Amino acid sequence: MAEPLAVVTIAGANYLPQAAAMAASLRRFHRDVPLYAVLAGTQTCAPSLERLGARVLALGGLRVEGLRGMMLRYGCKELCAALKPAALLALLDAGHRTAVFIDPDTLVLASLEPCFRAAAAHSLLLTPHVVPKAALDPDEELERALLMAGLFNGGFLGVSDCAEMRAFLRWWAERLRTHCYEDVAAGIHFDQRWLDLAPGFVADLHVCRHAGCNAAYWRLRWIRLEEREGAFYADGEPLRLFHFSGYDPAAPDWVTRFRPGWRVEELGEAAAALFRQYRERLREAGWRPGAEPEAGLPETHRAVRFLRRARARAGAAVAELLRR
């Protein structure tokens, strides 16, 4: 009989060190939780993950309609995002009552048991980009950027096996088959903007507003980050999962590529220590400067990529005109 809850992550060959670092951090607090890793490329094994007890799933092990076209149409980041609903359905089909997705570029820093319990108690668990304290300290530029990215962050979410959840996952998978790319002027930001529609599909939806669950650079303005005796806290509560979205360990002085010019040293001592720790965990997991492999995908059809990028540029130009 399958364990009630399982975790899954998705990574291309270029992100295997991040996936291994996440898996190792998960094992520090949850040694026995089943962990699956979907390899979004042509590779079929990942020893660094298998040593941590992860069950590696090659693309052929998922039920993905139109997979060949997706592999031609999408780059690695897009494909990884587009595979989320299929990966979650695979865990439910394997007999797990609850499936939790965790992005590879995250670090588990405390027990996720409260998050796991909440996921198991509801059909769908999502985490918002903003937290209640944002109303007390507005940042219009950041808020507008988050509106374009979506209400919820897709780096951590949980689903339970029920009819409404399976229906939503099938719908989400169908949308992501052809519309999982970045074109914010057209209302598309990879997999995330589709999650904005989840409340209309899923009645039993839980929004986890814990400041330390799926925290990331977009929350650092609004949460108080502390380090005490080697443990990290967000607003006095354990920092359970931090999402290093857009962080490049080859450029360790910068917080994220999504907000250029933001230096790690500006975040304060606790956050700077957190980023240093993450880079060291990546090194332990096999990351080396300049050693990033290719993503492991076949070359995307150039005409398809050209047309999509042209459409995105045209949409951005129209959006800029409308703002004037």
**Extents of the domains making up the chain:** 5-323
Cα dihedral sign, 64-31-18-149 = positive
Q: What residues pair up with 16 in beta bridges, in sequence order?
A: none
pLDDT (tens digit, 0 to 9) for every residue of the chain, 324 residues total? 899 999 999 999 999 999 999 999 999 999 999 999 999 987 778 999 999 999 999 898 899 999 999 999 999 999 999 999 999 999 999 999 999 999 999 999 999 999 999 999 999 999 999 988 888 888 898 899 999 999 999 999 999 999 999 999 999 999 999 999 999 889 999 999 999 999 999 999 999 999 999 999 999 989 999 999 999 999 999 999 999 999 999 999 999 999 999 999 999 999 999 999 999 999 999 999 876 656 666 555 455 556 555 655 555 454 444 344
Pick the closest to residue 44 from 23, 67, 60, 24 (CA basis): 60
Decide if 285 contacts 18 (C-beta within 8 A). yes
For residue 136, the tally of other CB atoms under 10 A from its CB is 7
Task: Give the pLDDT of residue 43.
Answer: 79
Q: What confidence score (pLDDT) does residue 17 get?
A: 97
**98-102 and 152-160: which strand pairing?**
antiparallel
Tell me the pTM.
0.92
Distances (CA, A) of 46 to 37, 91, 115: 9, 19, 27
CATH fold for the domain made of 5-323: Spore Coat Polysaccharide Biosynthesis Protein SpsA; Chain A (3.90.550)
Please report the pLDDT score of residue 98 as a whole number.
99
- pLDDT for residue 37: 98
Separation CA 169–CA 221 (nearest Å): 33
- CB-neighbour burial class of residue 43 (10 A; exposed 0-12, middle 13-18, buried 19+): middle
